[in-house]
Structure 1
Amino acid sequence: MKFSILTLFPNMISSYLGESIMKRALEKNQVEVEIIDIRNFATSPQKQVDDYQFGGGRGMVLMIEPLVKAIRSVETKDSLKILLTPQGKTWNQKIAREFNLSKEHIILIAGHYEGFDERILNYIDMEVSIGDFIITGGELAALVIIDSLIRITPGVIDDSSHEQESFENDLLDFPVYTKPLNFEGFQVPEVLTSGHHKNIQNFREEAALLKTIKQRPDIIVENNLSDYQKTIYKKIKMKGDK
């Protein structure tokens, strides 16, 4: 999979990609990332890429011409062009999985200032948001999307490391613990040190289900639960109906 990031602040991207899982994936050529400086496509000697908005109003707007030139410098017939905006479709693990399987080249366009010239919508395929909040620029959103896609790229990390993560099975992750066994009176559940693998599995399945019911009941898909979880879930629903 290849990513092309169009940005006004390349260093914000490169510093993050030089660490941890992202760095290893790039070094092993499991993914490819190119960072495109939008300013290189400015048409003025001053490298201006923004201007005042027509009709008045506060804030500078990114100009259409440098953006389109930057897109055209990297796009192919297989490219998916994503504009990172607050009004876009909210990114989630399901979309990440779909894109990881079906997209070979993703162009991420990171905005800044007051926003984009609206005509950019004629040159992109979709708008994506990482949540209902405002951040200074699209660079962080681009990194969030790249991170979520790279970590599920085959071979980047062991499949078993992310198969049980939150949202992978329409559930939140089960709680995890490490040393010491007792910290200020807070104990690690005994079952986890019992060595009884079936009981440990049951504990984790139940804990993941109960956490999701408490914190994110909206993401539960009953048909995707294990048989053990379905039994627990039905009992909880029966109690709630009484």
Structure 2
Amino acid sequence: MRIDILTMFPELVAPWLDASLIGKARRGGRLDLRVHDLRAGADDPHRSLDDAPFGGGAGMVLAPEPVFRAVEQAAPARPLLLLSPSGRPFTQRWAEDLAAGGSLGLLCARYEGVDQRIADHLVDGEVSLGDFVLAGGEVAALAVVEAVCRLVPGVMGNEASAREESFAEGLLEYPHYTRPAEFRGWAVPEVLRSGDHGRVDRWRRAQALVRTARRRPDLLAARGGLSDADRALLAEFGMLGELDGTGPVVAPGEDPLS
């Protein structure tokens, strides 16, 4: 997997890429991560990248000449995506597609954004982390890098983790517990200590359904709602009535399927 990141601040990005699982995979040759300084495309003594916007207005805009020059010099992997709040929302499915593609470039904007000709004629698309604005694209680029790279075979220690986590099947992930079995009066659900792996799997699936229905009903709707099998599973753990609005309300923080 090759990923190129083009940024005004390579010193912010480079150390992060050498840490944790990403850094280990990079040193092991599974990931080819390259950081390029956009200022390499500047041709004035101040290495300027920005200029005032035509028509007036607040802030500065990344100019096309130095950015085009920097990208053409770096020859980054494609598709080259611009980090932008007006871009296509980033999703787990998109991360999977990018990981499968084997290469990716990320262009980090700053200030008020980029000259529109960069978006129209230099990059292959725009990506957004959500409906909020950052000072620049570096944090967003690193989020994309981690989401994509952890799906590359051999990067994560346990490949099953990527299959079972949130959004892998359009559902939020089930809750996790570890030792001790009881902490300050709060016990780990009995089912997780039962040794019945089939029941544990069903419980986790039911938890994922309940959590998604409560916190992200839009995700459940996108899956077509609850299937007959889902309803049977929730009924097994006494949760179907609650989701249908006929059962007890579970207080925040309480485990609904324990």
> After TM superposition, is the score higher than 0.5?
yes
Call closer, same or farther: CA 1:111–1:22 in 2, change over 3 Å: same
Distance in 2 (CA, whole Å) between partners of 1:206 and 1:104 is 34
Q: 1:79 is paired with a residue of what secondary structure?
A: coil
* Structure 2 residue corresponding to 1:240, chosen from 240, 244, 257: 244
Shift of 1:6: 0.7
CA distance in structure 1 between the aligned counterparts of 2:30 and 2:147, rounded to whole angstroms: 14
Give the TM-score of the pair, scaled to structure 1: 0.91
Mapped partners of 1:130, 1:112: distance in 2: 15
Q: 2: distance between equivalents of 1:170 and 1:233?
A: 17
How many residues in Structure 1 have an aligned counterpart in Structure 2? 240
Query: In structure 1, how many angstroms separate the alpha carbons of the residues matched to 2:17 and 2:129?
Result: 19
Offset, 1:206: 1.0
More moved, 214-223 vs 32-41: 214-223
Structure 1 CA distance for aligned equivalents of residues 151 and 243 of structure 2:
38
1:75 is matched with 75
State the match for 1:113 in structure 2.
111
Aligned pairs for 1:126-165 (under 5 A) are 126-157=125-156, 158-165=158-165
Flag structure 1 segments of 5+ consecutive residues without an equivalent. none
Cα distance in 1 for partners of 2:218, 2:174 equals 17
Given residue 102 of structure 2, which amino acid in structure 1 is its aligned partner? E
Determine the structure 2 residue equivalent to 1:125.
Answer: 124
SS of residue paired to 1:109:
strand
Matched AA of 2:48: Q
Counterpart in 1 of 2:185? 185
Normalising to structure 2: TM-score of the pair? 0.85
Q: Decide whether aligned partners of structure 1 residues 196 and 105 sit closer, same or farther in structure 2, where only a CA change above 3 A counts.
A: closer
Which residue pairs with 1:9 in the alignment? 9
- In structure 2, relative to structure 1, the CA distance for the partners of 1:222 and 1:82 (3 Å cut) is closer
Instruction: Kindly indicate whether residue 83 of structure 2 is the aligned counterpart of residue 84 of structure 1.
Output: yes
Whole-Å Cα distance in 2 between the matches of residues 111 and 239 of structure 1? 43
Q: Which has the higher contact order (CA 8 A, sep 6+)?
A: 1
Secondary structure at 2:45 match in 1: coil
Q: What displacement does 1:10 show?
A: 0.3
**2:250 matched residue in structure 1:** none
Confirm or deny: 8 A CA contact 2:210 2:243 kept in the other structure: no
Aligned counterparts of 2:243 and 2:188: Cα–Cα separation in 1: 28
Structure 1's 202 and 33: CA in aligned 2 closer, same or farther, altered over 3 A?
same
Aligned mates of 1:68, 1:227 — CA distance in 2: 54
CA distance in 2, matches of 1:84, 1:37: 16
Partner amino acid, structure 2, of 1:116: V
CA deviation digits over 1:137-189, x for unaligned, max 9? 10001101010000000111122122110000111111111122222221110
Q: 1:224 to 1:25 in 2, by over 3 A?
A: farther
The CA distance in 1 between the partners of 2:21 and 2:124, in whole Å, is 28
Tell me the C-alpha RMSD between the 2 structures. 2.4
Structure 1 residues 150-159 or 66-75, which shifts more?
Answer: 66-75
Q: Residues of 2 paired with 1:180 and 1:84: CA distance?
A: 42
Matched-pair contact (CA < 8 Å) for 2:89–2:127: yes
Residue identity opposite 1:105 in structure 2: S
Contact kept? 1:86, 1:134, Cα under 8 Å:
yes
> Displacement, 1:104?
3.0
The one-character-per-residue Cα deviations of 1:73-121 (angstroms, maximum 9, x if unpaired) are 2337x721111110000001011111111x2321110011121111112
Which amino acid in structure 2 is aligned with residue 229 of structure 1?
D
User: 2:96 touches 2:148 (CA, 8 Å); kept in 1?
Assistant: yes
